[in-house]
Structure 1
Amino acid sequence: MTAELVRGQNHPLPHTRLEIRVSAGAPVIAGATLADDSGRVTGPEWVAHPGSPALPGLEVSRQAAADHRLAVDLGALPEAAHRVTLLLALPGTPGGPARFGAVAAPFAAVTALDGTEVASYTITGLDTESAVVALELYRRQGAWKVRAVGQGYAGGLAAMLADQGLDRAAELAAAVHEAVAHGMDRSVAAPPPRTAEGDRARHGAALSASGVPADTAPAGPAAGPLAGAAAGPAETSPGAAAVPPPGGPVAGGPISYAHPGRAAAAPPPAAAGRPQADPGPQGEPGRPATPVAGDASGWSMDERLYNQVWGMFEDLARTTAAYRSAVDFAESRMDQELDRVLSDPRSRIGSAGDAARAEARAKCDELTARAREALDRDLAQLTAESEVVEPALPVAYAGWDNPVWHGYRVPREAPMALRLGDLHLPESPELRIPMLMRLPLERGLWIDSGRAGSEAAIVMDDAELRRLAVDTAVLHAARLLAVHPAGQYTVHVIDPAGAAAASFAPLTASGVLAAPPAAGAHGVASVLTHLTQRVELVRMAVGGGATDALPPDLDTADQLLIVNDFPHGFDDRAVTQLRYLADEGPAVGVHLLLVADREDAAAYGPVLDPLWRSLLRLTPVPDDHLADPWVGHAWTYVPPQLPAGSGVLGQVLSQVVEARTNWRR
């Protein structure tokens, strides 16, 4: 999994031969320096730049471009080199941007030679700076790591090189700019990606992260995919041309952005990208481009929408992380100023102490207000995009209240993902991002019918909570049936005590189940034995390359097993079979959907811990249990719900049954 870093965070490097890939909204100069164990750059001979692009173990681009690929071989560096620092600077060409605050936030990624992304960093918060230290690769106790730096310099390349400890930095900076100027008449295309999936690109600006200047912004956690939410965002690759992307920013105006998508050898999307920002009448400052549904890259509209939704999720994660980091920094700075001023007993009391407190509080409030202003601006952009994207989603991604369900037809092929619910953060509870999981399911689902840790569940009646849990499971099962072609998905239900007959009624009444819900010890054993044998048969056939030897009556459709009220009605053998299905089933098309209260299984002790860890926990009521380790967020999960009085579920299931009947004829 890719580590998406924020300022100050580090990450281990598993390889010594690497590429550093840079993407920006305007041509930038990319260079690098080598430093010894004390952090000192010994001289110009340890600086790789367009005028001198190659050093032992290091090679950079020969001119300014919007996309760069820098080759790094850590094993070939000089023995005295303990640090590689990536430097970015604006070329300062006439008519070009003079500060990073007017262009797309630069994006840097460290990748393996096969294109696999190891760590990435979007350098947000830049304003008047025209040069920035993006990343540093450093050796610590024999192991190499990458750190996100993001240190900007309003004095440009000369100031940055001087801060690296170089003598005659101004002369070296002038030589770099001269070398770049000589090459500006040549257009540069980024090399083609090394794999079909490619590497991540940022087409356009990242969200404006905070109101804190880049040189004072605090370190914070990294943004990244939601923990446990199946696969992360689809990998992308940069476009071939090293030119600013569509929808790029207007110099000096608000920054537009576009989301990542799959661009490696993919056909061009139907939408050519975000429209250019409207400059307004008579030179008014530019306005953000109008959001467009499906403007991410991808092979199909469904894939473009999938990538766009994940882009919205990542943008919300980053901008919220930046806001929280900025607020923490403002409060920390206030505390430090108060400690410094009030450390003198003579200034603790009286008007001097009151003035110091008021000044520190005013600075804190100012920084917090700037950060909130940037957050509100970004949230407004994302809200506008959500209002455009949500109505355009296909049934697999759409909420049950989306009108697209009223025109539902059984599809001819399975989608790449489906919606499990919505996600939001406390700073913007009204902005909800669809939670999409890739198909086929790589892990089972667990609908938690217990009260542990959920404020909404604590105040509910036990019976009502269990009913909601089964209702949620039924909606997930109905969506899985609806998004697969006829005959390609089979659903089994185990309800040992028959306690959820009312909730399962939509499935049983429509006839979509393979058999009536299994009850009692015999019913539990029969279903588990049937599915366990199927998993064993298919695994042996696939492993031995003898799939044609499978029994002709074997149901080759994917299987979904819904288990209610676990572990009631399960003996030790049944529990073992269930664990086997959870571990081995997804690889051969057998998936588990468990409705259970973990506390009810406490009698089994830690023996079931691997089962719980193998499943993605969801809740039947809104709950902030989904942890995002990259940014430290606790995302609030909102389960799917049918609109009150809606008959759409019955309509959809009846079409599924009709299509299956016609398919079997």
Structure 2
Amino acid sequence: MTAELVRGQNHPVSQARVEIRVSAGTPVLALVSACDDAGRLAAPDAVAHPGASGLPGVQVPEAVAGEHRIAVDLDAVAPAVHRLGVVLVLPPGGPARFGAVPASYVAVADPEGAELAGYTLTGLDAETAVVALEFYRRQGGWKVRAVGQGYADGLGALLADAGLDGPAATALAAVATGLVPSGDITLAALPTAAPPTVPHGLRAPQDAAAATAAPSPPSPPPAPEPLPAAGAPYPGGPAAAPGSSSADTVGGPPTIDYAHPRRRRTTTEPPEPGPRAVPSPEADRPPAPVAGDASGWSLEERLYNQVWGMFEDLARTVAAYRSACDFAESRMDRELDDALSDPRLRLAGTANAARDAARARHDELVAQAKAVLDRDLAQLIAESEVVEPALPAAYARWANPVWHGHGVPEEAPLALRLGDLHLPERPDLRIPMLVRAPLERGLWIDNGRTGSEAAMTMDTDRLRRAAMDMAVAHAVRLLAVHPGDRFSVHVIDAAGAGAASLAPLVAAGVLAGPPAAGAAGVTRTLEVLTRRVDLVQMAVRAGAPEELPPDVDVADQLLIVHDFPHGFDDRAVTRLRYLADEGPAVGVHLLMVADRDEASAYGPLLDPLWRSLMRLSPVPDNHLADPWVGHAWTFEPDLPPRGSRVLEQTIDRIAAARRDARP
């Protein structure tokens, strides 16, 4: 039975040798791109096209046609290749856009000709180059995903987005579409753009788009602020990356922006298939999940990329389920309208039967979509059960036993865990929310009640205490997973309302000084940090970053601000905005605990400040979104278990390490 895919849905590929069948509504070029785990071309010439039709494991047709057959041997694909994209391109002189021709259909078939999965490319408009399907590695095997997104500026824009610089992308596009003979350009010599690093922290989708600077970005579904930090690389090309988000609490949820055996073929002809083996139940089961099976140079990086792969898989499989349900609902409504509006059905007395048939078809489609969703969720749950216990302290929940044996490390971590994310389809499937370190954006823990249903049900004093406890837990985690002398922590608590939460940090002596109180303390602390930012910026611009005055603390700085704007005058507010904007680049990071409504007296003056920070909540709240399909994810903070002394024990170890690090 053929799996009918909708955009974003994936399907396992159980056979190594498959055939991709393209039935287009107009003559098109069929190409295949070979990309790494971050979605970037694995090599400057890693595109199979009519001028160079062979890649390891791939053979594309050499002509423009309405139908194509592409032979793929997944076992022969180079190990550096993690994604194969099936690209359809309108040739020069043909139709101006895919929206003006009948929808194309792309199928994956086994060697015997039976279709395994099919996808109809609907909803296209101005695109002239489209990624139809994508094969990608997952847990030792391969999956195929329906993509159906493209570029109005054509193949050159698609290639530029995949990592080629402008001239190289234009040249390769000209060769692939036949505008320039392939012998006129040596593709292997073309320059490529520098590979992107995994983004730090979370970014809104519009920030990620600006970072990639594609001439004509694909048209993704509208998104609301989260999860990178992991995938492409986290999440983005992700890892979600942790930019400013214009979709703040005023305009909607902000989005996350979390980024993922070389064999040479001796012939371009696929070998004759042997006798077909009888499948066993074990062969149909997905491979057992393994912690750290993503790409990366270290186990920490592999786990980071694996978490973002799980995040992306959950986002897309739920999107496919919701899309299928919406399609079933709209089709049933259309069929019911037809049944009620057709007088022949009413006169013949068959209207009830037509309505029953429409509802039955709706229920069947929803049941099929639910079965696929349950299958994917079961696999992700199994993977989560394997990955969660293997996470290092920087990624682990406070309840993870890794914290009981954790020692202060010698190197900084790749990322930090801020909490968990989940969707309503399966609330018990929690994906770690990781942001890259060092933080590119400050954090804002919202202790206000506006805009959160969970916060509205809480007593105000309890909510404020929970927010400050959460800030202290984040500060302790940050200190614990960095070398002992890496961070200096400053606290502004103008009214002293956070004394109870801050007591463990104060008692252990891990702060740079007592919490600043009153307007004078606020001014003094901000003066010290803004002076440090100014001096480091000048030293860097002068090319002498080591030439700083002896009284400047060269360690990274973390400023915790409680109960903003209490104790802040206009000058202090300006300095705080300056630290939020300029501080992260020179090692000054901001962690605010504040109620935006209480700062409303400043009007729009503070809007840039709120937008520059990543908003978190001390109670479960669905104000974050993913960068792929824009789901509203419920964020749940990670706090030490009630009654546990893990926080106090960790602070003691931090204090001991800091004493040892002092000269």
1:297 offset after TM fit, Å? 1.1
TM-score, normalized by length of structure 1?
A: 0.69
The one-letter code of the counterpart of 2:361 is K
* Residue of structure 1 in register with 2:459 after alignment: 461
Counterpart of 1:82 (choices 96, 101, 104) is: 96
* Residue of structure 1 in register with 2:477 after alignment: 479
* Residue of structure 2 in register with 1:663 after alignment: 661
Q: How does 1:626-637 map to 2 (within 5 A)?
A: 626-628=624-626, 630-637=628-635
* Residue of structure 2 in register with 1:359 after alignment: 357
Alignment deviations for residues 472-499 of structure 1 (CA, whole Å, 9 cap, x no partner)? 1011111101110110011110000001
1:82 offset after TM fit, Å? 2.9
Instruction: Tell me, yes or no, if structure 1 residue 41 matches structure 2 residue 27.
Output: yes
Identity of aligned residues (%): 57
Within 1, Cα distance between the matches of 2:356 and 2:384?
41
Counterpart of 1:540 (choices 538, 541, 547) is: 538
Distance 1:644 1:327, change over 3 A: same
The one-letter code of the counterpart of 1:485 is P
Counterpart of 1:301 (choices 292, 299, 302) is: 299
Which stretch shows the higher mean deviation, 226-235 or 459-468?
226-235
Q: Is the contact made by 1:87 and 1:134 (CA closer than 8 Å) also made in structure 2?
A: no
Within 2, Cα distance between the matches of 1:194 and 1:25?
33
What SS does structure 2 have at the residue aligned with 1:547? coil
Unaligned runs of 5+ in 1: 10-22, 107-117, 125-129, 147-189, 201-219, 238-259, 265-278
Q: How does 1:180-579 map to 2 (within 5 A)?
A: 197=195, 222=220, 227-229=225-227, 231-235=229-233, 286-345=284-343, 347-348=345-346, 351-579=349-577
Which stretch shows the higher mean deviation, 545-554 or 307-316?
545-554
1:289 offset after TM fit, Å? 1.4
The one-letter code of the counterpart of 2:27 is V
Q: Is the contact made by 1:487 and 1:557 (CA closer than 8 Å) also made in structure 2?
A: yes
What SS does structure 1 have at the residue aligned with 2:350? helix
* Residue of structure 2 in register with 1:245 after alignment: none
* Residue of structure 1 in register with 2:645 after alignment: 647
Q: What is the number of equivalent residue pairs in this alignment?
A: 520
The one-letter code of the counterpart of 2:587 is G
1:340 offset after TM fit, Å? 1.3
Q: Is the contact made by 2:392 and 2:402 (CA closer than 8 Å) also made in structure 1?
A: yes
1:552 offset after TM fit, Å? 2.5
Alignment deviations for residues 547-597 of structure 1 (CA, whole Å, 9 cap, x no partner)? 232112321111110000111110000000000000000000000001001
What SS does structure 2 have at the residue aligned with 1:548? coil
Instruction: Tell me, yes or no, if structure 1 residue 623 matches structure 2 residue 637.
Output: no
* Residue of structure 1 in register with 2:116 after alignment: 101
The one-letter code of the counterpart of 1:503 is S
Q: Is the contact made by 1:25 and 1:104 (CA closer than 8 Å) also made in structure 2?
A: no
Q: Is the contact made by 2:444 and 2:614 (CA closer than 8 Å) also made in structure 1?
A: yes
Distance 1:132 1:493, change over 3 A: closer
Within 1, Cα distance between the matches of 2:222 and 2:412?
27
Within 2, Cα distance between the matches of 1:353 and 1:88?
33
Distance 1:231 1:435, change over 3 A: closer
Within 1, Cα distance between the matches of 2:363 and 2:119?
28
Alignment deviations for residues 507-526 of structure 1 (CA, whole Å, 9 cap, x no partner)? 11111111111000000000
The one-letter code of the counterpart of 2:7 is R
Distance 1:467 1:536, change over 3 A: same
TM-score, normalized by length of structure 2?
A: 0.69
Within 1, Cα distance between the matches of 2:617 and 2:152?
43
Q: How does 1:597-612 map to 2 (within 5 A)?
A: 597-612=595-610
Q: Is the contact made by 2:533 and 2:586 (CA closer than 8 Å) also made in structure 1?
A: yes
1:346 offset after TM fit, Å? 5.2
Which stretch shows the higher mean deviation, 554-563 or 522-531?
554-563
* Residue of structure 1 in register with 2:267 after alignment: none
Alignment deviations for residues 133-164 of structure 1 (CA, whole Å, 9 cap, x no partner)? 96665569x99789xxxxxxxxxxxxxxxxxx
* Residue of structure 1 in register with 2:7 after alignment: 7
Within 1, Cα distance between the matches of 2:413 and 2:656?
20
The one-letter code of the counterpart of 1:316 is L
* Residue of structure 1 in register with 2:171 after alignment: none
